[in-house]
Chains A and B, each alone.
Chain A
Amino acid sequence: MSGPFSAIVAGLRHVGKMTIDGVWRLGFVTRFLFAVLLASGQSLTRIHLTIRELYFSGVLSLLIITVSGLFVGLVLGLQGYDILQRYGSADAVGVMVALSLLRELGPVIAALLFASRAGSAITAEIGLMKTTEQLKAMDMMAVNPIARVVAPRFWGGVLSMPLLAALFSAMGVFGGWLITVVVIGVDDGAFWSQMQAAVEFDYDVLNGVIKSLVFGTVVSLIAVFEGYDCEPTAEGVSRAITRTVVTSALAILALDFVLTSFMFRG
């Protein structure tokens, strides 16, 4: 009798421990966010620190974002045309491409790419600085590492995310136009005019921007936190990078569902 019973208890204990650990960690992240916000003054007064991070997170992500945006747009154009032409609405393909990108695919895929390209780099950089005692050295020189290292990287990520998502959507629309209008032969005027009529700035574009701001904040916070919190060993840094990518992806997709359910309920 004691065998199965103790197995159940052990299972429950494990679940309980994981829940407590998860809640504790969430609380820790929240406190860390407040510490970053409180130490953000320098990110504004010494703006070159933030601009440098904008370059590393934003400008260096341009290639992957533009190329991916283009290919997603090409595929959306093909699939959209294939489905819509069955109902004789091939002209509406522009609307479909634009709305899918602005509302969902732009913010979500750009954020996923951003987490794997820039988020992992931020975690690795901060984690290695911790491992090689650079953060401690800074602290011993009376320079707050959260203000000097963490906050500029956080703001660099938050600011570059909406810009990257916008660029992703723009490239996607261009890709959709390229495949449907130039290659397949959908009417150019119909493609653009239907898109212009159907896409609302306040509703579609703005909500997409809000989404990407939220994703940018979450991914940047996860990236800087995992780097700062990592175990200072080679293995610890590698685990922290993995956690950044996995946690960011899950957080982006879950938050996207929540945000969509508030924003686009028809």
Chain B
Amino acid sequence: MEFVATAAERDAPLVSLRDVRFAYGERPVLRGIDLSVHRGQVVAIMGGSGCGKTTLLRLIGGQLKASAGTVEVDGRDVGGLGRAELYAMRRRMGMLFQFGALFTDMSVFDNVAFPLREHTDLPPSMISDLVLMKLQAVGLRGAASLRPGELSGGMARRVALARAVALDPMLILYDEPFAGLDPISLGIIGQLIRRLNDALGASSVMVTHDVHESLEIVDYIYFVSEGRIVAQGTPGEIRASADPFVHQFVNAEADGPVPFHYPAPSIGSLLGAGAA
């Protein structure tokens, strides 16, 4: 019996969203999203700017509450948690913000040590060992004494990644991890996301619009457009997809299901053609 329960637990998705809707005031952002992330997976959520990707991440992290539908993480409804329970859950989550969000008044070492110092009673020597191990994993042990202001964009992102995994989380959330990085840093971050996920036995959800890097490292991809999931599949399926939206996105075409022009009256009427 015990074995069956464990197997069922293992098979249940770690993150599952069912018919999730969300609106900022009157403006609907998500119009019924269903998605799930299984344990050990790295899942990418892709879509154009402003399509509601980051909102999805915030719903999973409990920073926002869905106006309808359920967001479950590890079998618990995130929207229904009180502050203490939410904080207990967040201790098992790590999040990488778009530009790292490192604490600028602390050194690299203290940034990575921050979650350990806040949430554990470990002696300083052990915290030091753990921090150096995490920094070693992202290749920045030598930068431990630097301040965030002295780091390049890619290095800051790696330090933030070390901080996000400091408490060995079950779930890691990435908000645009590739934004504004040079090709080398981009490749490094991509490999780190995959390697850390596998080494920690964690699951990862990544919001991004970098198709090619994502196709290399993720297990599954969801495409979001206008608040709905319009396509999904494994990288192989996505590459082979004939779906017009996926085709436009993967091949970076200017026009297609996502129009080039923002909705406006026709240019002819604006220039007075046909007015006479």
Residues on A lying within 8 angstroms of B by beta carbon are 128-129, 132-134, 136-144, 148
* A134 and B90 in contact, given A140-B61, A140-B63, A142-B119 (Cβ under 8 angstroms): no
Tell which of B95-103, B200-208, B215-223, B239-247 binds the partner. Answer: B95-103
Partner of A136 from the list B91, B101, B115 (CB cut-off 8 Å) is: B101
- 26 A–B contacts, CB within 8 A, in A order: A129-B103, A132-B101, A132-B104, A133-B97, A133-B98, A134-B103, A136-B101, A137-B97, A137-B103, A138-B103, A139-B63, A140-B61, A140-B63, A140-B90, A140-B95, A141-B91, A141-B95, A141-B114, A141-B115, A141-B118, A142-B86, A142-B87, A142-B88, A142-B91, A143-B114, A148-B118
Besides A134-B102, A138-B103, 8 more A-B contacts (Cβ < 8 Å) are A129-B104, A133-B99, A134-B103, A134-B104, A137-B97, A139-B63, A142-B91, A143-B118
Q: Are A141 and B104 in contact (CB under 8 A)?
A: no
B93 within 8 A of A: yes
**Which of A128, A129, A133, A141 sits near B90, CB closer than 8 Å?**
A141
Instruction: Using CB atoms, name the residue of chain B closest to A132.
Output: B101
Q: Which residues of A contact B98 (CB under 8 A)?
A: 133
Chain B proximity of A100: nearest CB distance (Å): 39
In the bound complex, do residue A136 and residue B97 qualify as a contact, i.e. CB atoms below 8 Å apart? yes
Cα A7 to Cα B104 with chains together (Å) = 50
Q: A139: which B residues are within 8 A, CB to CB?
A: 63
In the assembled complex, the Cα of A140 lies from the Cα of B93 at a distance in Å of 8
Which residues from B are CB-within-8-Å of A143? 114-115, 118
Encode B61-72 as 1/0 by CB contact (under 8 A) with A.
Answer: 101000000000
With A and B bound together, what is the CA distance between A143 and B120 in angstroms? Answer: 12
Nearest 6 interchain pairs by C-beta: A137-B101, A142-B87, A133-B101, A142-B90, A140-B95, A142-B91
Q: Is the CB of A136 within 8 A of B63?
A: yes
The answer for the CA separation of A133 and B98 in the assembled complex, in Å, is 9
CA of A133 to CA of B156, assembled, Å: 14
* Distance to closest chain A CB from B134 (angstroms): 14
Q: Whole-angstrom distance between the alpha carbons of A138 and B86 in the complex?
A: 13
| With A141-B115, A142-B119 as contacts: A132 and B95 at CB distance below 8 Å | no
CB distance from A144 to the nearest CB of B (A): 8
Chain B interface secondary structure, helix, strand, loop or mixed?
mixed
CB distance from A127 to the nearest CB of B (A): 13
A262 vs B93: C-alpha distance when bound (angstroms) = 54
Task: Find chain B residues with CB under 8 A from A134 CB.
Answer: 101-104
In the complex the two chains form, what is the Cα distance from A118 to B5 in whole Å? 58
Tell me the bound Cα distance from A141 to B119 in angstroms.
Answer: 9
A residues within 8 A CB of B61?
Answer: 140
Contacts of A128 in B (CB 8 A): 104
Which residues of A sit under 8 angstroms from B95, Cβ to Cβ?
A: 137, 140-141
Interface string of B107-148 (1 = CB under 8 A from A): 000000011001100000000000000000000000000000
CB distance from B179 to the nearest CB of A (A): 13
Residue of B nearest to A137 (CB): B101
B200 to chain A minimum Cβ distance, whole angstroms, is 16
Closest chain-B Cβ to A250's Cβ sits at a distance in Å of 30
Chain B residue with Cβ nearest A148: B118
Choose one: A129, A132, A140; the contact of B99 (CB below 8 Å): A132
Contacts of B101 in A (CB 8 A): 132-134, 136-137
Closest-by-CB residue of B relative to A128 is B104
Chain A min CB distance to B276 (Å)? 36
The answer for the CA separation of A241 and B101 in the assembled complex, in Å, is: 22
Enumerate chain A residues within 8 angstroms of B93, measured Cβ to Cβ: 140
B186 to chain A, nearest CB (A): 21
Least Cβ–Cβ distance between A239 and chain B, in angstroms: 21
| Bound-state Cα–Cα, A132 to B90, Å | 20
Q: Say how far B265's CB is from chain A's closest CB, in angstroms.
A: 31
List residues of chain A with CB within 8 A of the CB of B91: 141-142
Chain A residue contacts of B118, Cβ below 8 A: 141-143, 148
